[in-house]
Amino acid sequence: MSQTTTPRVTAIYDIQSHKGLAHAAAVLAGEQSTGTFVRLASETDALRERSAARIEAIEITGTSDRPALFSRESGPVYERGLVTISWPMGNFGTSLPTIMATIAGNLFELAEMSAVRLVDLALPPAFAHAHPGPKYGAPGTRAAMGGHDGPVIGTIIKPSVGLSPAETAELVRQLADAGIDFIKDDELQANGPDCPLSERVAQVMAVLNDHAERTGKRVLYACNITGEIDEMRRTLDLLEEHRAGCAMVCLKTIGLPALRVVRNHTTMPIHGHRAGWGLLSRSADIGIEYSVMQKLWRLAGADHLHVSGLASKFSEADISVARAARSVQAPVCTGDAPAMTAMPVISSGQTVWHIGPTRALLGNDDFIFCAGGGLLSHPDGVGAGVRAMRQSAQAARDGIPLSEMAKNAQELARAIAHFPPVKVDPTIFND
């Protein structure tokens, strides 16, 4: 093994192969660096020593007599396990698009593997020094709100589409008057002709700016600016003209380079929605772990990152959500580098029952808790829904059972009677 001190990027894959993990690892390493399907005369030993991907470790975790997924190749035994591969930074520098093509590129198409999932990524400090990272994170977000204590209680404009700009602004008025901290567009609502973004921003921000002047509280509104790059630049300028406080983008839709453009063009926090993430992660046999991708999104500048929610309406298991939420608050790079932490955004079928487990999981209040129906459909209205969420958050912070807190909190009592209790996987608290 080379003794070079050149910084390296290391990735871990969960692989199944009918030809054995050692062979699959060699094919992957070659395909994603210097090699091709045959050895070339120009691929000298010196070139391979300098630029080839390196197999660092192979751990067999099991065998099977059938492939995890459809495979055109067959064999009597399919080995499965963890393969650790590293690359010298000389291959790609600190380019985020190029590192994506390297660690999550053609390897998913290799015939030698009937399953391959990217499960971990270690980046050297050079990445943190080369990229801006989040401008705000949790401390800056709280400051942008004029100072805030506890988790950020938020909601989503619902119905997701169908409301006019005036109807949207009226709902925002009700939410602001009820004491909400954060309001976001749905990922489906961007700049459609039925609710033009320019009109929506003008009317919503007129409500929120008036609210801030009257009460001193700045409610953050994350307007969905997802679109073409030039369009997003123009929209960011429009948002700042109206003194908006946050911009939302669909991360998978716009890509890493566009996220960096948005980050560099605005002074606002960037709210990152992960719409479409299930396409990359839902299969246990092929895809990418969220803990990997969120590092690259943070490097490019996302301040808030959606991680789904515990006991949510979606298929993702609680243990996966827990890993995702914790990863957003962990350092993005190894070694001596800025941590670049962001705020996890909890959403998807959340109610007053979910805040306590979420806070217990993270051990802090540095998260955004977004509830749509779980807040807007409170039996006593939107205002009661906001107050019930706030009461649940207070109970979580003080370590008081919801039933006890509800004895002196009417809105919470009504909420826990209205929304069914949830069962969260207890193993997520073991780490």
SS (H, E, C) 102-160: HHCCHHHHCCCCCEEEEEEEECCHHHHHHCCCCCCHHHHHHHHCCCCCCCEEEEECCCC
Of all residues in the chain, the percent with pLDDT exceeding 90 is 89
- Indicate whether 128 belongs to any domain: no
What are the tokens at 420? Answer: 């069914």
Which CATH number characterizes residue 193's domain? 3.20.20.110
Same domain, 148 and 92: no
- 131 lies in a domain? no
Same-domain check for residues 332 and 293: yes
Residue 227 has pLDDT above 90, yes or no: yes
Above 50 in pLDDT, residue 200?
Answer: yes
Which two three-digit tokens encode residue 86? 């590293």
Examine residue 325 and state whether it is found in any structural domain, yes or no.
yes
Q: Per-residue pLDDT for 157 more than 80?
A: yes
Question: Do you know the residue count of the chain?
Answer: 431
Q: Residue 45 above 80 pLDDT? A: no
Q: In this structure, are 102 and 169 located in the same domain?
A: no
* pLDDT exceeds 50 at position 196: yes
Q: In the chain, how many domains are there?
A: 2
Q: Containing domain of residue 67, as a range?
A: 8-122
Residues 6+ apart with CB under 8 A from 252: 274, 275, 276, 277, 279, 280
Mean of pLDDT values over 363-377:
95
- pTM > 0.85: yes or no: yes
Residue 42 pLDDT greater than 70, yes or no: no
Q: Which of 98, 122, 146 is the last residue of a domain?
A: 122
Strand arrangement of the beta sheet that strand 8-17 belongs to: 54-64, 78-88, 8-17, 115-122, 286-288
Where is the domain boundary, 122, 146, 177?
A: 122
Contact 172, 183 (CB under 8 A): yes
Residues 348 and 410 in one domain: yes
Whether residues 71 and 205 fall in one domain = no
User: Do residues 258 and 335 share a domain?
Assistant: yes
- Per-residue pLDDT, averaged over 162-171, amounts to 96
Q: Indicate whether 194 and 147 sit together in one domain.
A: yes
In a domain, 130, yes or no: no
- Do the domain assignments include residue 178? yes
HSE-up of residue 30 (Cα within 13 Å, Cβ side): 15
Residue pLDDT, tens place only, 231-262 = 999 999 999 999 999 999 999 999 999 999 99
What is the distance between the alpha carbons of residues 56 and 11, in angstroms, rounded to a whole number? 10
State yes or no: pLDDT of 39 exceeds 70. no
pLDDT score, position 156: 94
Q: Give one DSSP letter per residue of 298-321, joined into a string.
A: HHHT-SEEE---TT-SSS--HHHH
Indicate the pLDDT class of residue 2, thresholds 50, 70 and 90: very low
How far apart, in Å, do the first and last CA atoms of the chain sit?
A: 34
2 belongs to a structural domain: no
- Taking the C-alpha atoms of residue 106 and residue 101, their distance in angstroms, rounded to an integer, is 8
pLDDT at 4 over 60: no
Q: Are both 175 and 58 inside the same structural domain?
A: no
Give the confidence band of 6 by pLDDT, cuts at 50, 70, 90.
confident
Report pLDDT digits (tens) over 277-316: 999 999 999 999 999 999 999 999 999 999 999 999 999 9
Residue 3: pLDDT band (50, 70, 90) is very low
pLDDT at 165 over 90: yes
Q: What is the pLDDT of residue 41?
A: 62
Higher-pLDDT residue of 410, 69 = 410
94, 122, 150 - which closes a domain: 122
Q: Same domain for 348 and 425? A: yes
Residue of 49, 61, 52, 51 lying closest to 13 (CA atoms): 61
Statement to judge: residues 242 and 280 lie in one domain: yes
pLDDT at 1 over 50: no
Residues 91 and 175 in one domain: no
- The token duo for 346 is 């909890």
Residue 63 belongs to a domain with what CATH number?
3.30.70.150
Is the same domain home to 230 and 290? yes
Indicate whether 250 belongs to any domain: yes
Q: Is residue 129 included in any domain, yes or no?
A: no
pLDDT at 421: 96
